[in-house]
A and B are shown apart, each in its own frame.
Chain A
Amino acid sequence: MSDVDGSRGDYRRWREEVYEPFRRKGGERRQSFATRSGIPIEPLYTADHAAGVEERNGFPGEYPFTRGVYPTMYRGRLWTMRQYAGFGTAEESNRRYRYLLEQGTTGLSVAFDLPTQIGYDSDHPMARGEVGRVGVAIDSLADMEILFEGIPLDRVSTSMTINAPAAILLCMYIAVAEKQGVPAEKLSGTIQNDILKEYAARGTYIFPPEPSMRLVTDTFAYCSRHLPRWNTISISGYHMREAGCTAVQEVAFTLANAIAYVEAALAAGLEVDQFAPRLSFFFNADSEFFEEVAKFRAARRLWAKIMRERFGARDPRSLMLRFHTQTSGAALTAQQPLNNVVRVTLQALAAVLGGTQSLHTNAYDEALALPTEASAGLALRTQQIIAHEAGVTETIDPLGGSYYVEALTDEIERRAQEYLDRIDEMGGAVAAIDRGFIQREIQDAAYRFQQQVESGERIIVGVNAYTAEAEAMPEILKVDPSLERQQAERVRQVRANRDAAAVAQALERLERAARGRDNLLPYILDAVRVYGTLGEICDVLRGVFGEYRPHDEL
C-alpha cells in the first residue's frame, strides 16, 4: 500500500523492532496477505496510513460525500428494503408483492423473465423454455395491469430490472398509473436501463450500442420533463462483479459506463444538472467485509470528483452517488445452503456500513432455485435485524476513521482511477467493451478466483473445506412449466381483442420516429396504451436499429 514514512515513525519502529523478529520466528498463516482485488494488506494500520483523510473525506451530505450522501443518513430514514422478486405469471408475482408489502418491505423490485428482457413475446419461438422462469412474463399492458393490481403506484416506489426495452416497460408503468388515476409526475422508482453492462457481462442486449444509447438518453430527457422523481438509470456494477470482476474493477467499470452515459446525454444536447440528479447506481456486496465497505466509500468520492471536475456539475444532487446494493449471488453455495444465511448477513452489514440507499438480501436457497416465500421472508428479516437490533444505524459512517478502512478507501479509489485513465485512452467505455477489454478483465479475474479456490488458497466453507457428505436439501420453489402455454395463449387473446388499426398506426408512427431523431418515448407510450405488445414494439425497433452480435472469445 502507500509508502508510509510515518510522521512519528512509530509504525516503522514497531514493525522493525517488534513485528519482524516475531514473524521471522513464528511465521504467519500466509506468505503475503491481500484483498481479493489484490491490494496488499499490512499487518497493522495506524494514523500514519490515514494521514489527511479528514480533508479527503469531508462530511456527510457534503462534497465529496465519502461518508454518506445525506446529512442524517440512517438517523433520518433507514435504507429502502427492496427485495427483487417476480416469477411466473403477473397474478403470481402480484401475490408475492402483496406478501412482501405486508411483511414490511418498503419498495418493490420487479424481476422480468428473459423473453421480456430481450424483447420477445411469450409465444415467440425464442421464448421457449424461458417464459416466467427468472421473473414475470410481461407481453402487454394487460399483464402490467394485473401485476400492479391493488398496489397504489403513488405510494410505493418500484424498481424494474429492465435494460434493452426499459423505455417500453416504463411506458407500460406510466399507462397503468394513468388507469389508477396517478399522474406521471407522482411516480417514483427506478429502471435499470444500463445497456453497457449488458454487453460487458449480463447479456440481455437487443440493439447495437449506438441506438441503445439513444433510447437511454431519450429516457433521460423524457423523465426530466415528465417523471421528476424517477431514477432514469441504475448504473450497475453488480452483474460485472457476479461475472467475476474484483471490487476495484467493479468501481472502475461502473463509473466508466456512467461517464459514457453522461457524455452521451451531453452530446444529445442535455444540460448536466438537468439529468445527473436522477442517475443512480447499483453495486454488489460480496463477502470480503472491509474491502466492500471501503469500495462504497471510494465510489462515492470518486464519482463526486468526476461530476464536478470533469463535467462541471453544480447541483449537489448531481454529485451524489446514490446506490442500491444486492448481496452477492455468486457467493451463495449449493452446499450446506443454510450457511448462506450467515454470508448474506455479513454482506448486508457491509452494504449498510457502506451507506447504501436501498438493499436486497438474497435468500439462502438461490444457488439451487428461485427463493420460496419462507426463504425470501428470512432474507428480509435479516435486513430488519441489522436495522433495528444491531445498533449500526444510530451514527453516520461508523467505520469512518478506521485506519484500515480509510487506507483501503484511498487505495481502491486510486486503482479505480488508473483503470478509468486506461479506458479513457481507449476512447471510453463503449470502445473498451467493443474491443473486449472489459470482458477480458472480468473473465481473467473470474478464472483467477476459481484457481484460488481449487488450490485451497481461498477457503469457501462447505465447498472446499468443512464439507459434509449427506446434506438435507431445503424445499425449493418450482415454476409450473404449463404457465408458458397459458401466457402464450393470453398474449394471443390480447392481440385478438384490441383495436388492430390503432396498434398498426401507432407502430407505424414509432417506426418513422425511430428513423428520425424525435424522442421515442411518446411514440412508445402511444403504442403500449393501445395494447401493442413488447415483442411488436421491439420488432419495429429491430427493423430500424438492427441487432447486436457479440464476438465471444475465451
Chain B
Amino acid sequence: MIAAMPPLALVVLALLMGGVWPRLMARQTRFRYTPQAALLAWQAVSLGAIISALAAAPAAIPSFSGGRGLGDQWVLLALVCLVSGAVLISLLVSGHRVGTRLRALRDDHLALVDLIGADGQGRDRSVRVLEHPLPTAYCIPGRRSRVVLSQGTLEQLSTAELDAVLAHERAHLQARHDLLLEFFTVVHEAVPAPLRVPVALDEVRLLIEVLADRVAIREAGAVHTARALFAVAAGRAPDEVMSGGSAAGPRLQLMAGAHSTPWLTLLAYAFALASVLAPVALAVWPFTM
C-alpha cells in the first residue's frame, strides 16, 4: 500500500496548489512589496499544481510492475490516470483557446489603431495617439507591438508624467508580461469554472502592474509615476466616485510605502523552490523504492 502513497499524495498536492493555496496567497498583500519574487512564487505554484497532476499517473506505474499484477489497485490506477489525462487535455485545450482569442483580439485592435491613430512624437509609429479627450494609455503586446495613448493623456500629463507612462508600458512590452499573464490565464481557464480562483488572477495582474510601476519609478521617479497614475484615474471620474475595479489605490499606496523587504523576498523564493521541488520529489520517489 506504501506504493500507492506518492500518486495519491500528488493528486492531493495538485488540489492544494491548484485551489487552496491560490486563495490564501491572494490575501498575502505584503508580497506586493516584492513583486518579482511574488510572481515567481505564483508561477511556481501553478507549475507545481500542473506537475503534480500530470505526474500522478506515471508515479503509479511502479505499484503495478514487478509481476504483482493489478490486484485490487485498479481503482487507484483509474483515478490517477483520469486526473492526469483530464489535466493534460484541459491544459492543451485552454492554451489553444486563450492563445487564439488573445491573438485575434490584438490583431483586430492593432489594425484599428493603425488606421485611426496618429503617429507619436517624432513620427514614432510604435506609438499611436487616439483623438479622444479621456486620458488612457495601454499597449498591444505581440510581434508588432504598439503603445496607445489618447490625446487626453498627452494634454493632461506633464512630460515627466508621460515618460513614466511610456516607461510603464514599454516595461510590459520588453519583459513580455503578456506571456506571463497568458500563462496564468491558460492555467486559470484549464480549471473547471466552479473551482477557478478569480482573486488569484486579479492579484497576479496587480503584481505585474506593480512590476511595471517599478520600472517607471526608476526612469521617471516615484512622484511623477504616482502623479501620472492619479491623473489617469481622476481624469475618468467626472463624478468623483468611480465604479468598476482597478488597482489605482493599492498601487499608489505601494509607491507611498515603499520599503526594502529582503526577508519577504527570500521567503517568496524559498516558497517557489519548494512548490516545484515537492511534486518532483513525490513523482520520482516511487521509482527509487
Chain B binds chain A = no
